Amino acid sequence: MKLNLIGGDWVEGSAIRQNINPSDVDDVVGEYAQADAAQARMAIDVADAAQRTWSLSGIQARSNALEFNAAELLARQQELGTLLSREEGKTLAEGIAEVVRAGQIFRFFAGETLRVCGHRLPSVRPLVDVEITREPVGVVGIITPWNFPIAIPAWKIAPALAYGNSVVFKPSDLVPGSAWALAEIISRSGIPAGVFNLVMGRGSIVGNEFVKSEKVDALSFTGSVDTGRRLAEQAARGLKKTQLEMGGKNPLIVLNDADLDIAVNCAIQGAYYSTGQRCTASSRFIVQKDIHARFVSRVRDALKALNVGHALEPETNIGPVVDAEQLRTDQDYVEIGRHEGATLAYGGELLTRRTPGYYMSPAFFTDTTPEMRIAREEIFGPVACAIAVDTYEEALDVANDSEFGLSAGICTTSLKHATHFKRQMQTGMAMVNVPTAGVDYHVPFGGTKGSSYGPREQGSYATEFFTRVKTAYTQA
């Protein structure tokens, strides 16, 4: 059984949870300890006690620890990618790529540790200097979802440690394997005991302690809008610094002048790869009428050519849905779309494969209107719809008519429309002739409206959340 890491010790939980492979529900990936509230509080206490030592350890020690993690993640990409795909269900290529991404993030922040800048300015008062510096926030509570079991933890943990914070980390119940493997590597990276703690367990128990505790100074959460909103309200009462990354309903606009090969590739990659289980997945194709019939026919052909199957089989393009509950949600939305009057142009069926798993063919709706629930609500599965529009202006209005604002894309050869789109799209990320999903690790990530709250994640912008600013005055 895999245990929790608290204060440098591997600690048994109060319960055990099985990690089940969604490609083959007979395959138990492992058994993982579930912490209770008292253990979560213990982890917070040790993180609080260790934070000052870590913040004084110096940037070289911190950089070295991060580089250790980077090197090991990259060296073990095949093994850890296999574990990730086995527990989450994304294809092996996607699993390995995610582990590589986690390694790259640690390497990036190993460098950033050495580049924390401040300012020195003259004061408006003669003979006085002003220094503006960045300091650690303190104890950071990190709560992550199931769809990127190692990359999302990495992009929160790496900057937290880089800038001298201590960490209490609660991964999603569904995917503790990758989180545990990452924690095990970090435990050998040379950081003092208590600086990094892994507390696997229920959100409502372990996560709730992070939100309640006065000793947790900052909370970085990725997950659903409902959970995020509740956490933010509670965290605000304790005046915690809070960063939330939540859902999306990301549009991909396809204009008449688009390169159809690029548009179809963006649609398939963006909407259906990783089984559509990405916050940045395209789920609304907003297509100008002259190209609509050709686009629909090409997307349908491309979907027919995709293999849905066991995540670890080399010919698989699309793995299973993560669990029975998500599969039920996806199937419910297929029914909702039909009842709303949309046409199911492809897929949406449950599939039987060699092993018992949560398999579903990618679903593609046409004759969709912007008011339909399938065009408004986040489904978080391999389900997308096409909405026909007359003009670019109408496409932009439909794209912006959403409670979410994470990522948006346009396929066009018009510089005028691409430029206007980048300026007018009310999202945190705007993509021209590239999929809405799939981002770089050295630049900020995040959205607007109901998708994100608080400072951006990733790249050098991570300092805004993971550090505090101090202004010091000195009279010479």
Catalytically active residues are 245, 279
Distance between CA 451 and CA 52 in Å, rounded?
33
Convert residues 159-198 into a mask of x (bound to ligand NAD by CB under 6 A) and - (unbound).
Answer: -----------x-xx-------------------------
Q: How far is CA 161 from CA 158, 288, 319, 376, 393, in A?
A: 5, 47, 33, 38, 45
Q: Which is nearer to ligand NAD, 262 or 430 (CB)?
A: 430
Residue 345 vs 429, nearer CB to ligand NAD: 429
3-state secondary structure 5-63: EECCEEECCCEEEEEEECCEEEEEEEEEEECCHHHHHHHHHHHHHHHHHHHCCCHHHHH
Give the C-alpha separation, 353 to 21, whole Å: 14
Closer CB to ligand NAD, 72 or 98, in the complex: 98
Looking at the Cβ atoms of 113 and 326, the one nearer to ligand NAD is: 326
Q: Which of 22, 138, 164, 248 binds ligand NAD (CB under 6 A)?
A: 248
Q: Does 227 bind ligand NAD (CB under 6 A)?
A: yes
| Window 95 to 134, contacts with ligand NAD (CB under 6 A) | none
Give the CA count within 13 Å in the CB-facing half-sphere of 357.
28
Out of 378, 405, 417, 427, name the contact with ligand NAD by CB under 6 A: 378
For residues 164 and 446, which CB has a smaller minimum distance to ligand NAD in the complex? 446
- Tell me which H or E stretch contains 152: helix 151-162
**Two structure tokens written together for 316:** 């698989």
Question: Of residues 263-302, which lie at the interface with ligand NAD (CB under 6 A)?
Answer: 279
User: Radius of gyration of the chain from Cα atoms?
Assistant: 23
Using CB under 6 A, which of 34, 222, 463, 467 touches ligand NAD? 222
Distance separating alpha carbons of residues 277 and 388, to the nearest angstrom: 24
Q: Which is nearer to ligand NAD, 14 or 474 (CB)?
A: 14
As a dihedral over the C-alpha atoms of residue 66, residue 104, residue 228, residue 44, rounded to 10 degrees, the angle is -10
- Burial of residue 3 (number of CB atoms within 10 Å: 0-12, 13-18, 19+): middle
Helix, strand, or coil (residue 150): coil
Shortest Å distance, C-beta 327 to ligand NAD: 13
**Is 368 near ligand NAD (CB under 6 A)?**
no
Burial class of 419 by CB neighbour count within 10 A (0 to 12, 13 to 18, 19+): exposed
From the list 246, 258, 383, 429, which residue makes contact with ligand NAD (rule: CB under 6 A)? 246
| By CB under 6 A, residue 137 contacts ligand NAD | no
> Is 143 a residue that touches ligand NAD (CB under 6 A)?
yes
Q: Which residue has the tokens 């104890």?
A: 139
Rounded least distance, CB 58 to ligand NAD, Å:
32
Size of the site for ligand NAD (CB under 6 A): 28
HSE-CB of 235 using CA atoms within 13 angstroms: 26
For residue 134, the minimal CB distance to ligand NAD (Å) is 24
State the binding string over 326-365 for ligand NAD (x if CB under 6 A, else -). Answer: ----------------------------------------
In the block, which residue shows the tokens 């007018």? 424
Q: Is 36 in the site for ligand NAD (CB under 6 A)?
A: no
Q: Which residues fall within 8 angstroms of residue 85, CB to CB, at 6 or more apart?
A: 91, 92, 94, 95, 311, 312, 319
Residue 173 or 367 having the CB closest to ligand NAD: 173
* 154 lines the binding site for ligand NAD (CB under 6 A): no
Q: Which stretch, 57-65, 81-89, 182-190, 242-250, contacts ligand NAD (CB under 6 A)?
A: 242-250
Please give the residue ranges that form the binding site for ligand NAD (CB under 6 A).
Answer: 143-148, 170, 172-173, 203-204, 207-208, 211, 222-224, 227, 231, 245-248, 279, 378, 380, 406, 451
